[in-house]
Structure 1
Amino acid sequence: MPSGPPGPAIVTGSESGIGRAVAVELARRGHDVGETWFQSEADGEATAEQVRELGRRAELRHLDLREPPAAGRVVADLAEALGGVEVLVNDAGTGASTPLLDMTYEDWREVVATDLDGAFCCLQRAARVMVAAGRGGRVVNVTSVHEHQPRVGSSAYCAAKGGLGMLTRTAALELAEHGITVNAVAPGEIATPMTGQTDVDPHTRSRPGVPLGRPGDAREIAAVVGFLCSAEASYVTGQSWGVDGGMLQMGPMAGSHLTSDDWRRV
């Protein structure tokens, strides 16, 4: 990325949770921000207002990743409105908690289309704009600890996030010659609407199955994303950054379902 003021950023799924925190963090770092909403335009506009309060420009569009090719066109529209794109954060996603034997194909496709196909279309379109501009860029895909480890009842989610993790690594190789870095951030349990914890202070929640003993704050994810989008991270690419309170160190089934600290003792 060139020296000078930060260029435009696009953050998908920025109407709440991690996406909102990332949009605000990038605005704080000097980026104009293109944002997307899926369920609530009012929530998307609330994020845009927070960006504008920091003195940055905000553009807001509707995005439905269940229609992946259309998702790419939304990214192109935002890039045109902002005068380019130097940062893409693929945050929008969904999940399902259904046993493999009970999952319908339609539910499988909705999760995979949203979390993997849609993310691919957004990444591809943003990367084409970056390559044409010749200024390099940053891509960060928000995956999950389940990019790396499975969880019972989450077959579609784990498959999609695992695929997004491998897409991250492959894109990092292919786009490196253009000065574009591609990384993933893999959150553990974060206090957001997606986990049923809207406006919850994670420091007030006990999580015996997480070494740090609590869920994460969306701003803790945004801080890592902000670093990966910065000039300081110019030699980091193809990596997946776990931000999970140490959960991955405990094995594939660690997490919020554990109800005691017995695992801490021998």
Structure 2
Amino acid sequence: MTAQPEPTSGAQAFEPRRVIVTGADSGIGKATAVALAGPDRQVGITWHEDEAGAESTAEEVRAAGGTAHVRRLDLTDPAAGTRVVDELAGAMGGVDTLVMCSGTGTATRLLDLDLATWREVVSVDLDGAFCCLQAAARHMVDAGAGGRIVAITSVHEHAPRVGAGPYCAAKGGLGLLVKVAALELAEHGITVNAVAPGEIATPMTGQEDESVLRDKRRPGIPVARPGDAREIAATVAFLCGPDAGYVNGASWAVDGGMLTMGPMAGSHLREDDWRRP
């Protein structure tokens, strides 16, 4: 039988010192890498298409006093997640914190969706996340010092969206993978949680990393605006920090109240625009 950790293991004593943030070349990933940077901290940064963006993130990590390690990661080959996590763990002397921000999606209705597109989205958003999580968890378990794993899912982990079939399926699956991992890894002092953002002003939503208060009104969201990537990063930083040792297997919606609208939004729609991606 596996020995159980002491009650205080992985709680107040934990600090994220050797961190990997996937998809850290822009948006939520970039904001998270910077939020977790600091003196005596190493941050592994991965990018897929925007190398310059990753280098910009690395500069901000270094400006905060941290050490940056930059690697390319293409999760259309999910096994690359294992290789890159292992490589970064080797460069940093281990890994105690993993934040998975890599993701892609579609705006295609199911009847028009081809299998190749379905597989690409699921490979990146679910298969690749599994490979990264498994690899990082193995390093954490071997080190025996606990750890933190956070998956960036989406409000569409919890609620569907027209035109986003593979994205919703993958994020829903990732949300349950988080819960299974939370159960299995807790005895090793490792917590696993999800953060489920709503609309965030980033390149992935066709916006830029800019002020969310200027010309961005969203009547269908209770706070009436998109979120800022740094607002997501602040939640992630808490979950990765010493005060979140008792948070495990949770999915934190950071969405300005979007998910709470439910029947309110449905009962107030006056047009059929929602039927189109």
TM exceeds 0.5? yes
Deviation of 1:31 after TM superposition, in Å, equals 3.0
Which SS does the other structure have where 1:203 is aligned? coil
Cα distance in 2 for residues equivalent to 1:74 and 1:162: 25
2:7 alignment counterpart: none
5+ residue gaps, structure 1, are: 261-266
1:140 aligns with 2:140: no
Which SS does the other structure have where 1:78 is aligned? helix
Cα distance in 2 for residues equivalent to 1:127 and 1:17: 25
How many residue pairs get aligned? The number is 258
TM-score, length-scaled by structure 1? 0.93
Cα distance in 2 for residues equivalent to 1:36 and 1:238: 25
1:180 aligns with 2:190: yes
- Structure number with greater CO (CA < 8 Å, separation at least 6) is 2
Counterpart residue type for residue 37 of structure 1: W
Deviation of 1:251 after TM superposition, in Å, equals 1.8
Provide closer, same or farther for how the CA distance between residues 6 and 146 of structure 1 changes in structure 2, counting only shifts above 3 A: closer
1:81 aligns with 2:81: no
1:233 aligns with 2:244: yes
CA contact (8 A) 1:207 1:259 kept: no
CA contact (8 A) 1:191 1:216 kept: yes
CA contact (8 A) 1:210 1:254 kept: no
CA contact (8 A) 2:15 2:242 kept: no
1:165 aligns with 2:175: yes
CA offsets 1:24-79 (integer angstroms, 9 cap, x no match): 00004863200101001111011000000011000000000100112111001001
- Deviant stretches of 4+, over 6 Å: none
Which SS does the other structure have where 2:213 is aligned? helix
1:244 alignment counterpart: 255
Task: Give me the identity figure in percent.
Answer: 63
CA offsets 1:87-132 (integer angstroms, 9 cap, x no match): 0001100000100000000000000000000000000000000000
Cα distance in 2 for residues equivalent to 1:170 and 1:252: 30
Pairwise CA RMSD: 1.9
Cα distance in 1 for residues equivalent to 2:116 and 2:53: 28
1:18 aligns with 2:17: no
Cα distance in 2 for residues equivalent to 1:79 and 1:137: 13
1:201 alignment counterpart: 211
Cα distance in 2 for residues equivalent to 1:193 and 1:86: 28
CA contact (8 A) 1:209 1:259 kept: no
1:263 alignment counterpart: none
Deviation of 1:198 after TM superposition, in Å, equals 1.0
The range that moved more, 21-30 or 112-121, is: 21-30
Deviation of 1:199 after TM superposition, in Å, equals 3.4
2:234 alignment counterpart: 223
1:114 alignment counterpart: 124
Cα distance in 2 for residues equivalent to 1:68 and 1:156: 16
Deviation of 1:135 after TM superposition, in Å, equals 0.3
Provide closer, same or farther for how the CA distance between residues 4 and 109 of structure 1 changes in structure 2, counting only shifts above 3 A: closer
Counterpart residue type for residue 185 of structure 2: L
